[in-house]
Structure 1
């Protein structure tokens, strides 16, 4: 039984603030193609609200029906056909909520109307906050909102129950029959006493295990306490024995006597160490005294020798330098004479070159005046050529690209073709005779032919003639208008009146391009580089030079020509004389430098010898002024004798100090003291341990720990036996429940066979050779292709959406066999489908529309405009 929506009227429902009516829905495929934000999804939500949402609910979903920011009552009215009979439902939400159902047996309102709707549509009461599609029955599965078909989902419980009769008839077995329903609840109730749903122990099994664990802990504690008491007696005897040994060690006087002897040795050792330190200090002082006196004697001998040596060196240096003074004076005189000759020669050369430079300057000025005149002439010619070049360039720039010309020609052909189509389909009429009182579309008629391309009204008195051209003419006229506008827009962009003018402009532009190359060559020819004026090659450099040139920059100049050649010869002779003078001066200077170079070391040697002699005499005087020098030998002899005596005393003190080691004696005393201290601490600790053990034995000895341990062990054995019995019962129930579940799963696999066969009929058209696999919940779980299975969740978004639509069609066919109210509504379907699969899916939907009403809500005009009966969202209440 197909559910067929006939009319939908809305008011104050979300974006439909004003009254809105949609009618004209047919039995088969209905396509509503509108842009986004026009209310297609809202229309589907309104139908769900009218059929499944209770009128008196005030949950979040119902509040969302009111237009944003307005406190009004959303109202919906739907006319539909079910069971071959006409029905209507009117529902109002929030303010003065109400519902009314009108059918073949009259009207029903309030709760009776809601119950009648649920019974008619096979739904149940929806108590969710956001709308539960599973409670909407078959229509909850088949009315698919935006993005709800992007993944394959299982049908709800109502749908599964609805198709049960068909599946049972085909399979020949009853999944969950009467016998199964009688046995399974009892097993589940007993199973729940032992196990949780996830298979973890609970109830009686957990209680038995807790009882067993408690008994085991009690027995273990009793045994531990008994063992601890017995261990306490043993520990007490051992502690008393250790205490006796410590008391005996502490009473022994051997360590005390040894410590007193070590203390006496320590005093002797400390005295010997102190004497050793004194002897070492004394011996070190005497060694320093001897070293000081020996150093003074050595320094004094070295100073006396240095005075004699430096005096001899100074005498030799003065003799060598006295023989070189005459040669140095002669070299200085020759250098002075050569320098004076060089100065006079330089003056003569400077004057000759100054006269030559002045002559050359006058010649250069004359050449510059000539070059500037030539530059002015070429600049005037350049200005004329550039003006001609600019005009030609503008003409060449107006060339229209060949692709644009081709586009103009194609658009011109399109205009001619559209005009021919309009002329072929238009109605032609001719007016003649007396036309008084004759009007066309309200205007007076005129004689002659007239082409009619749209509806025209001709009135003559009270009579009116309506002429309607063919319907297709309007599209041809629109095509002509569009083609003409495209052509005119392109021509206007390039500033031409027609395609012929564009071609003529291109011919002129090509000639201008050739002339431009000629002009560029001429401009380059008249703008060469002029090194004299600093002008680079090119027109910009010439124009820049002329722009910066002042009027009369050439100057008048003088007609007298200087003898540059004679002046050049005179300057060359002056250069030669200067070169000779520089050579003579260089030789004299070199000889002077050589002489001075040989004299310099002698002067340095003489000066250094004088300085060394003075230093040696001053150092000797300083040393001889010291008081120790007078009796230096006697003092050194006495100091060496004292040093030898101190060394003997030091050796004696070292032998005395090595007899007793202070550190060793102190370490031995510390060991004896530590031994006594540790023994006393151990004795104190043992006394504490003995007291604690005696107190514990006294407290635990009278409690009958042995009897308690025996009783606890018996109770633990009984708890273990009980746990084993309860565990066996739990495992038996678990095995029985698993066996029933395996049988039910096997029956379920047989049960879903008819569903798979119906779905395969559609899926094989989309995926040839594919074998669908369904789960126990009748949901498509996998697809097998070429022997390999794929989880539906791993398929592409487009394939998942296509399979979701096809499985819904399979369930819709089964529900139709049961006489359930079925219709298919898809909101923005197949958004991820490629062109080939989209064509196949639309073909399948078209076939399904022969069995049930199908409504497509979409914004994709190109993909769906060729399908079914098209409806627009226009109308009023």
Structure 2
């Protein structure tokens, strides 16, 4: 009898917070392909709840049905067919719990409805807290949730009892009559006197074995003591002979003379290593000088090329310039207000930044002071080198990042562009005549030129003349002022006067970095290791050694400013400045919109002019360097110097290689170790000779021979008794195993029909295989090519496939008994390769001709080609 689901309604059940209807389910294969988290697993859980979970339970499983955060009564309705008859079940949990079942016999509610469902589906009442699928009967085995099919397991007791009733008619009753039980009880009683239930030895076997072990141990001990006494005489003679050899080696003076010669070679090797370090430092300094001069030459060539290109671009831009503009009066007040706010924000930011910088300088100064106090007693030459190193480090730290230089160049370019726009759009006048004769905006005009960017009135006695410049002039003047302010702020932030100063500071920082590498090499040369005073190599070891000689240095501490608080204040000021700049940019953009047509040409001319000035500045900067006049000759001299240093370095490396301090030290250590070993061996031999002499004196008169003979006789007696007990135990075990084999043979006949039905499906997946089932109908192993493989040792994909196929076999057997059967697989075959997946799909498609099959999956690519009824969850 096949069970066929037709319609499912869920309301307030976990993810399904609103009423959801799933219908259109057909007799054969039904496929639900939906994305993750859409409720496929919840749908299967709802079906289990409707058929098997009691409506009035409030266990942990029922509590999980309610949607998270909602106090509602989850409801499930299912319309289905069983043995061709229409049925329906409606069940509500928790709040207003109820159940109603409608079938061929009419309606039933409450406990009667639950009983009718159990009778129809062959299930029993589930009293567990989280749901026991074994109590669900056949559908508990065939409705497979996620991961439940990842291991091959035995069916529940209900299913086994159902299948047993079918198989007993084929193979007869299982061996187990009264005579068998009586014999088996007697055998088990005698078996327990020799063996544990798991087949381990105990009782009489253990006692006999322990007696034999004690006797063997006593015999071995007596024999070993006798043999040990005999060996003692031999060992004593051997130890005396070895002592004579060791004493000859200790008196030999050859190793002492070799050690003195090696010490002399070691001093020569250390001197060669120090010279090598000095030559390496000189070579690095010379190579750095050549690289710096070549870099200067390369920058000059690049700047010259950039200047020529900028001149051509500037000429082209100037020929294409034309004036375009309109008035934009309504934005003036907005720009003025934004400018005022921006100036206030900049002032606040500058003050806060100055305070933060002062705090950082104070902390840095304290650290430098502490370092200076700690080094007051260092060696004179090391002090001079470290002072030079600190100066070079401070100069190197002033290097401005490439992004900072680029920002300065961009700000200068912006100033040039804004000035060009202003010159292009403003009105210029020149006055010549007596002062005070003409008034400009009510004030006396002065001699000379003036630029007009806004409406201006000239008074000539009673007459007045108003000059109105183009509207673009005012916004251009504002843009120029803003660009200048940004440039000034950037220069102030970097603490440089102009872009050339920034580049010069970077040049000094690069030279300082090269100087630091040279100083590091020199410091390493003047701080070699000295094993005579246990001083290891390095400046820190030297400073520690000198400090121990001269006492502790002062360690005064000043108040440390709260850098975190200063940083927070600076961040707040930066935020205010950013907001003010945003308002300012918005106001200027409002004025600038009308000037967009003229903008590209203005920008082109300004950019070309800025690039020209920048390139010329770089050329002037390079040519102003003292070494530029004779740069080619200086590079040649530097290369010659580098070559000389390389030759000296090679000579020093050859000298250092010829005298390897590590190898010489190793030879000295070998000689010392050999001497220590000989001395220690002499002491051990003297001790061993004394011990052996004392042992001979003690053991000589104890009668060890007689003791060994008595112990051997007792061991033979115990061995004879142990062999007799072992024969008795093996006989009982053989009898018991024979009974088990007979019982297993009958059991094999019992599970044979199950194996034949399962093999029909499994052989399509694993050709030529043999199956072995346990008494509880669980698939235990698969034999292929004569090799048996336990199911638990198979891959996860094979286990999942076998689990699905055995379920299909059980479903076919339950169909023969007229049991309600359908197959639901949630996210099946996730570990299957493409070939096996196709085979499994073919088997499932064939099974769908005998029963209703529902596949719940998120793998559209794997199942889209399968011919079947497509179902949507309707969400």
TM-score (norm 1): 0.39
Query: Which structure would you say has the larger Rg?
Result: 1
